[in-house]
Structures are given as C-alpha cells and as structure tokens.
Structure 1
Amino acid sequence: MGHCCCVTGCNSNSKQKTADGALRFFVFPTWKKKYGPQTEDLTKRCRAAWVAAVRRKDITFHKICPHVRVFSRHFHKGQPAYEMMETDPDWAPSLHLGHTDIRPTDTERSLRRGYREQLKKNALQATETGLHQSDEILQRQDEVTHEATENPNQQQTDTQKAAENVGRPNTKDDTEGGRQEGQTECNLCVLRCAEMNRLLEENRELWRELDELRISDCFFGDSNEKVKYYTGLPNLATFMALFNFLLPLISAQNKILSPFQMLLLTFMHLRLDLPSQHLAYLFLVSPKTVYRTFNEMLSFLYANLKRAIVWPDRDTLHKIMPHQFVDAFGHRVTVIIDCFEIFTEKPANK
C-alpha cells in the first residue's frame, strides 16, 4: 500500500520517483508510557508538536490513522530528529506546512473590504448626525407644505427628489479615497510579506549551515561507518540502543552539551585518543568542559554498565583460551592482560 503525505497542500506519495530516489515518509512519534516519567513527558510533547505542526482537523493527539505519514521535505535535514532531542529544529516538521509561509494580501479583496468599512463609517456618521437631519427634514416639509398651494405639481416632484437625497451620504469621494488608501496599504502588505518570507528562508538556511558546522544530535545521520570510526560500535542501531538506555539516567541540567554530545565526546576520546583541545574545538566548548564531561561520563558509565560485564568461570576461560597459551602454560593461566608500551624521552646523560 502506498503512502501519502498528510501535510496540507503536499501531494507527495510513495509511488513518485525522483532522480536520487530519496522519497521518505515518517510516521507520527509514539507516546511512550513505560520508560519512566521523563521519557513519557517528552514523547507526549513530541507527538503533540507534530499534530500542531500538521494542523488538520482529522488528526488529533489520540486519533491518528496508522497509515498517516509526513514527507521528508518538511524537515530541514530530510528526516526527523531523535524524539529526545527537543532542541533540534527537526524535532517536529517545520517546512512547507501550507500555513507557515505568509502569503501576500489579495488586492481586490482588500479594496472591497476597505469599501465596506468606509460604508459602515459613513452610516455611523449619518446615525450620529441623524438628529440634525431630522430637523432639516421637518423644516423642509414645512416649506413644501407652505408652497404646495401655489404649485402642487412642481412641489410633488421636488418633494420626491428631496426625500431621495436626504440622509444619503456622498460616498463618491469617500469611496475613491478609500480605494487609494486601500491600494497603498495592500502594496505595503505585499512588501512586508515578501520580506518576512525572505527572513524565514534565511533563518532556515542558517539553521542548516549551523548543523553542518557543529556536532549536533544528528551527527551520524544514517552512516554506520561514521559510528564505527568514532565510537568503535558496529552500527548506529547499537549506539542508539545504548543511548536510549542511558538517556533517562543522564542528568543534563545546567550542561553546555546535550546528552548525545556528552556520550559521543566520551566515545571519541576513548576510541581515537583525541587531545582535549581538539575536542574542545569540535564541540565548541572550553578544554575545561571537555575534562569535566569526560570524567563525569566515565564514572557514570561505570556505575550504570558494570552489571553488563560478566566474568566467565574458570572452565569457560579454559575453553576459549588460545591454544598457544594452553600448550605453553596448560591450565595455570586464567587471564591474559593485554599490555602496551609508551616510549618516553630520557636525558642524554643518564
């Protein structure tokens, strides 16, 4: 079954084909209730943010069809961010949503509206001056009655014209003035809308450039090679499984780096043995922050992952022992400690 994007005005579907074939559709995030209060609250707000971004009457927080999807073009990086990364611009769809761009005002419609407002204004003025007009009508009726005896036919005609003209506002000049004022206002609206749209697009470009320059929470993308190189873990799924396990336990209060960056910094330091100054440049922090983060994360990982380290019994160790050691030492060897040498400079006179 094909998928269609649920965003208003987006006609993308899974049956279409592009040059690079990059057609991706994403389901709404799930409200996770069994992973602790922090995860429950964050996933609830993430799901609500998606519903608010799409803004459709038939899609609510508790009523989302399982076949509903959101197309990749509605995200800055072509895919949603991890649901725990609330500060990421792709935490919810934000591009081309059918209601975020500001559209220029319809000139004709604005003129008609200005004309109606002018008519209401004239009617209000006529109501305020109604008392004076009533006095004029009574006075004019007295004059008509006084002159009726002299020329009845002519008086009848004048009375009809007077009745038609009395109380009718002179809207010709007001209407032209209202049209000119409305036209000027519409031109300003068009310029303002164009400027705001330009600023919105510029803001999106700056976000994309910033994500490329910094190590963000979407640093790996879909590349397993990057994960293996920087962390030593086999693939992205393994890293994210470990991260999801540790995330509810990480205290990120008053921290410069996000939990993702803190864990990645620790792995990069262990895997590549990068200098602290180099890591400080990569993560845009001070070397002192790198030292503190690395030490805290090492203690944190030891406290929460030490139960995963299982020490085999003696018989199992003998079974998996390399045969070279068994031939040389028999069953006297239990543990092989891997050592390495560090060469240091020594004074020439010693």
Structure 2
Amino acid sequence: MVHTCVVAGCRNRRTPGTSLSFYRFPRDPERKQRWIAAVNREGWVPNDGSRLCSTHFISKQVKNPRSPDYVPSVFTVASLAPEMKEPGALEILDKQEARVEAANALLFLQGQGRSAVEHQGQDEQPEEKEQETAVEESASSSLSTDEDDDDDDDQSVSDSKKGKFAHTSDVPVNFDDILKALKRENQALRESVEKMSLSENSLRNDAEKVKFYTGLPNYFVLETVMWLLAPHMDGMKNVKLSKFQQLLLTLMRLRLDLRNQDLAYRFGVKVATVTRTVHRMVNIMSSTLVPTAVFWPSRAELRKNLPAALRASHPDCAVIIDCFTVPFEEPVSTAAGPSYNVFKYLIGVAPQGVVTFVSRGVLGNVSDKSLAEGCGFLCKLLPGDVVLASRDLDIGESVAARGALFKIAGSYQGETETYGRSEGSLLADPSSETVSVQRHVERVISMVKQRYAMLTGPVESPFTTASERTSNLSTFDKIVQVACALNNLCISAAPLE
C-alpha cells in the first residue's frame, strides 16, 4: 500500500527506494490529539491509513514524553524528501563551500609537496608557483560560477579553512591530551546528570534531598524501608522502574502530593504506570510496614518511658486520642444515603510521641462515640488503662466498659469518674496540663500532615474506594496508616514535655 503524508502541502509518498519513514498516529489518546493539533488541519480526523512522514520530526519519532520528537514539530510550506527537493540558495552555498574546501585541500597538498622537494633547487620554484597560481585561479573560477549575495561569507569560510590547514601543518596535534580532556568532560557531565536524577546514588549522600522527597530523615532509614519491602515486590513486574524507583515514586506521591502526570514526566513512564505503582506499593506498605511501625505498646514499655509531664498526674496513661478530618476532591455518594465530602479518623498517640493507633476513615460528620466504638480502638484497652484527651469525645461509658478510665486533661475529678467520665469536665480548668496534652496530639497530627502533604487533602476519587475486595479499607485509609508508620520511623518524634 502506498502511503502519502497527511500534512497539507507535503507531497512525500512511500515509494521504492525512498529513505523516508512513515508513522501511523499513536494509540494513546492524549498523544494522538497532540499530533492532530500539530498537523493543523481544521476539522480533519485521521483514520487507520493516515501516515506522517519523518521530515516533520527533528530526527525520528520516539515514545519518550520528554523528547522533542514525541510530537512532530517540523512544518514548512512544502516539506519534501531530500531526493524530491529543488536546489535552493542554501544548497548552492553548500556546493560553493565544497568547492572552496577542495581548492584549499589542493593548496595544502601543493604546499606539502613544495616542502618535500625544496632541496631540488631554485629552478623548480617557478613551476610550483605556476601550479599554485593555477589552483588559485581554478578556485576563484569555481566561486565565480555561482553569483550570490553572500560572497563575503564564502570568503570568510575560505579563510577559516586555510587557517585550519595552516595550523595543522605548523603545530602537531596531541590527540592523547584531547582524549583525556574529553574523558574528563564526559565524567563531569555524567556526575552532573547523576546528581540531578532521582536514583539511589543521587540520594545516598544527600540527607536533605532524602528528607525533601521522602519525609524520612536520612538515606539509612530509606534503605531500611527498602530492605523491608523488597521481598514483597518480587511479583511486581515493571520493566520501566526499579524497585527503588517504585518506592521513591510512591513516597514522593505521599510526601509532595504530586499529580500522576507530574510523576510520569519525572520518571519517564506513562500515567497508568504511576497509578498502578502507587496503588501496589501502598498495599505492600500497608501489609508489611504498618504492622511493624504502628503497634500498641505494652504497659511496661509505656510506664518505662513515660514523660515527666504525666508521671505524677496520670502514671497509667496508655494513649492520648483525638479526631481529625480530611476533605474530598469530589463528594462521595453512597447507595443508602446522601453525598459526603469528608473522611473522619480517630488517632491514638502514645505519651512518647509515636502513633499507636489510627482508625479507618468514616464518611461524613459521624459522632466521636460511633467512630470509637466501630473502629476497634476499645479492644486495645486493658483494665486500669487511662485514656487521655484534651476535650470530651463522649466515649467515657464505652471506655469504662473495658475497665479503663477516660479523662480530660485538667478537668476536675467528680464522682462519676468510675464510669470513665468526669462531670467536672464541663468546668474544665484550662490549665497548663490541658494545653500541653492538646498541643501534644495536635503536634503529632500536624507533623504527619506536614511530612506527607497528601493527608491534607483534598482526596482524589480513585483513592476513596476499597483497594481490595477482601478489605473494607479504602486506598486512602491505607495511605493514612502508611504515613503514620513512616512518621514513627523518623528520629524526631513529639514527646510530651
């Protein structure tokens, strides 16, 4: 089948012996639309037989989105194949320059011959001069055949050529020095590219870069996380990204809340690859990293490292709790109720400053009591434990049913404290203890959100659905848990002082 280029004014065709390539329009909808826009034919839509010739690309079409040849960009009034073009002014100049170079080459060879036979005597010099004069006349006559406005430019080119030949004949070139200089330049360029890339070597000795892109304090912690996750990533077939790049891409998604298209450009992959990688890595980290880093400590561990601020007033404090919400990008509708635009979470923080519990997200402005009773938090409590909060979460009776106590920091202890709730909480004294406990939880929540900006919302709709059929956790629930686990791995927690 004979293909003709679809660009208006381009008469290139696929014929026997042609050196041109003809490309079909890409299947990717976004890239295909950019090709159509580049062709610039109003109301035209390509079909299966539509082709674009290689003269409209700088080199040839490539599938790398960062390459200038990802989309055709070379369009002139008449884009013809080299064998079909008529000679123009530029080609005439090229011919003139070729003649000049040939003439200068003859002059150079003539000079070499003269130095070789210099010992033969003075009587041969007139003949050499005649030959040199003949060569010069030949060069000038060849230049005069094609008159053009750029004669001065041709003359400067000729002079430069003569200078080049004179230099090579007078001063010997040390190719070893040139080779060494090129190797040094090549090594410097490699180091510069490596430093700008997102690879293991570029992060290994740069703690600030690790902290900026991942939220982790240094490369050692990042390498530890990689060591924990690598055995579970063997089933992930991704020829484009290494295991380290998959982890780094996911951490950058959580840390900087970058959009998938941005990450696709940075890592040179498709948007679908980014989406698939993030979901898979979040699932792996949720099942591997979260149980390791987010766990309920034993009572002995809690008492051993209890901060001084609680040692006297609440020595049996097991956890400090609070709730936080994350908005949606678009309201989520349910089959049995109205649309919701917020996720609500219950978070438990140990007095030492690490997250020991985080619930799954609940749609809408659900009550604190319903959230606490339905998320599994109460099952963690032991008889005698003290649950501390800076405000009344209305869960005192539920906590008391587990044999534990719910206390509001700074409140007066009334006679109903047996049931886990103090009537005096309505007249709570805004003491320094209350402020300290409130700031403690807020500091931890704020720290997690600052380290991983994705938790500030708004949540994109693909993350609000259940990530697996066997789990009632949405992908974003897992992201919240993973962010808390990663925060616990950081050296700087938020101890209560």
Sort the TM-score into its range (normalised by shorter chain): 0.3 to 0.5
